[in-house]
Amino acid sequence: MGRKKQDFVPLVNGKISIYVCGMTVYDYCHLGHARVMVFFDIVRRWFEACGFKVNYVRNITDIDDKIIARSISEKISIRELTDKFIFEMKKDAKCLGVLDPSHEPRATEYVPQMLELIKRLESLGYAYESNGDVNFAVRRLKSYGKLSGKSIDELRSGERVLVGEDKKDPLDFVLWKKTKPHEPEEASWKSPYGDGRPGWHIECSTMSSEILGPRFDIHGGGIDLQFPHHENEIAQSEGAFGCYNNNNLVSTWMHVGFVTVEKEKMSKSLGNFSTIREILVDNDPESVRYFLLKGHYRSPINYSLEQIKSAKNSLRSLYHVLEIGDETGELSKTEQLRYIDRAMKSDDPFAKDFRDALQDDFNTPKALTILFGFAAQLKIQIKSQQKFQITVFRGLGLILGFFARSPEQERHLIVGPNSQISEEEIKKLLVERNLAKNKKDFQKADEIRNILNSRGIMLEDGVSKTKWRRT
């Protein structure tokens, strides 16, 4: 379960239900969060391209210890803090081309349902109250550890939870937390156990079962959530709802590998993280997206400026195919769907191989390699190729979240420290340069080229027109 590749069969014909653990909103998202968002965006795009109706849930954790601590330190309400970072998270996601999920529930909207689930677990003997806290009795569930491959006997005291006097067993985890004296009133809810708030794990079990039902197709998140978070989710959900004919409540678990920096996990606790916002100062969003797809989702990927630059150059070479094939317009949503449909139905060998790559555990590195092979062929045969082949190529890229914008937009995208020069200024200098060239004042023309180059603008002189791009 969850530890090897397996055949995927939807629970309901024609429909896919997905739940992904989203952000804890107390700070800006970093590149590790971006990888999870982008990958599951590919999963959702692929299933939709295959004709499935996808119900995609990505939750928001808007109450926890870190959120409370930051709201206190900044002297603002929890709601003000979380609203701010939800807005910023959505801004980052949109910038990276991530589609909005079908549902984006906030944990604080489901507290009554969480209490109902806790009460159910208590009545079934899986939970117990102790001094205002409610804990899950791990040893009560014999299958605990099946996702991560950890057995109860292997879990030593203090390995993942602190031993507390209010727990019957150090392995037990909290479902409901008693309010602490220093915590603000808005972090507390009334309950049969006294004032308190939900534990982290019960939030996801509740929101997933309320929106998708107790049994659904795919549950995903970062690899760091596999244990204990997802293991604890399984314990709660199977304790409350049981199993259906010995089948797992979640059919398929998918975990995205770490983004590393010098082979160490990128994380806020290690202080080696870069926020999405910071990275996008110097890099365009599609290049970042490309970088995140260069490695297989289950494997770690190492972040560096050189890797982003390489991704940028690779992506531009793909856009160049669209340009030389005269496929230069920006696409509406309807047009994108039409192009994707062509790509999915095409009998072109590259299209078939591309689809096979995504069908095989979402092998995006292989899919990108195939896309480059297709690009190389199109460049050689571009004059004899029917326009249809170019649209198939573009449709394949759209499945990965690329090519919605025009090559012209891609060239002119404003990023980095050289982005202070506006498009209006660039056009003005190009007019001056053309006038100089017409007067055969090539020294002046070269001076303007050098000025633009120093400000991150590269010129490409053609027979009838000079094109430009930001470097």
pLDDT exceeds 50 at position 236: yes
Helix (H) or strand (E) holding 327: none
Report the C-alpha gap between 296 and 306 in whole angstroms. Answer: 19
Mean pLDDT of the chain: 89
Tell me the C-alpha distance between 393 and 403, whole Å: 10
Pick from 43, 24, 8: nearest CA to 256:
43
Query: Residues with Cβ < 8 Å from 422, sequence gap 6 or more?
Result: none
Give the count of beta carbons closer than 10 Å to the beta carbon of residue 468: 17
Residue 463 has pLDDT above 70, yes or no: no
pLDDT band with cut points at 50, 70 and 90 for residue 353: very high
Q: Name which of 96, 77, 102, 94 is nearest 26 in CA terms.
A: 77
% of the chain exceeding 70 in pLDDT: 90
- Kindly provide the b/e burial profile for residues 50-75, where b requires at least 16 CB atoms within 10 angstroms of the residue's own CB: eebebbbbbbbbbbbeebbebbeeee
Q: How confident is the model at residue 430 (pLDDT cuts 50, 70, 90)?
A: confident
Q: 15-260 maps to which CATH number?
A: 3.40.50.620
Angle made by CA atoms 339, 342, 252, in degrees to the nearest 5:
90
283-410 belongs to which CATH class? mainly alpha
The amino acid that residue 70 corresponds to is: R
Question: 229: number of CA atoms within 13 Å, CB side?
Answer: 18
Q: How far apart are CA 445 and CA 416, in angstroms?
A: 25
Q: How many helices (H) and strands (E) does the chain have?
A: 16, 13
Residues 261 and 293: their CA atoms lie apart, in Å, by 17
Give the per-residue pLDDT at 3.
Answer: 61
Region of poorest pLDDT, from 11-15, 147-151, 169-173? 147-151
* Six token digits for residue 429: 């200098």
Tens of pLDDT, residue by residue over 29-64, are: 999 999 999 999 999 999 999 999 999 999 999 999
Write down the pLDDT at residue 55: 98
Tokens for 301, please give them.
């990927």
Beta strand ranges found along 108-148 (DSSP E): 127-130, 133-136
State pTM to two decimals: 0.85
329 versus 100: the higher-pLDDT residue is 100
Phi, psi (rounded to 5 degrees) for 328: -110, -5
Q: How many CA atoms lie within 13 A of 132 on its CB side?
A: 11
Instruction: Give the domain ranges of the chain.
Output: 15-260, 283-410, 416-470
**What is the average per-residue pLDDT within 430-456?**
80
Q: So what's the pLDDT on residue 399?
A: 98
Q: What is the dihedral of CA 65, 129, 185, 207, to 10 degrees?
A: 60
User: For residues 19 and 204, is the Cβ–Cβ distance under 8 A?
Assistant: yes
Quickly state the pLDDT bin for 161 (edges 50, 70, 90).
very low
End-to-end CA, the chain? 46
Amino acid 407: pLDDT: 65
Give the pair of three-digit tokens for residue 380. 């050689």
Distances (CA, A) of 231 to 38, 77, 140, 226, 265: 24, 32, 14, 6, 21
Residue 452 token pair: 């633009």
List all residues 6 or more positions away from 178 whose beta carbon is below 8 Å from its beta carbon.
131, 132, 133, 193, 194, 195, 196
* Contact residues for 220 (Cβ-Cβ < 8 A; gap 6+): 18, 19, 20, 21, 36, 40, 43, 253, 254, 255, 256
**How does pLDDT run across 244-263, given as a tens digit for each residue?**
656 788 999 999 999 998 77
Q: Tell me the H-state helices in 325-422.
A: 333-345, 349-359, 364-381, 387-399, 407-412
Length of the chain, in residues: 471
- pLDDT exceeds 60 at position 84: yes
- pLDDT tens, residue by residue, 361-374: 999 999 999 999 99
User: 408 vs 401, which has greater pLDDT?
Assistant: 401
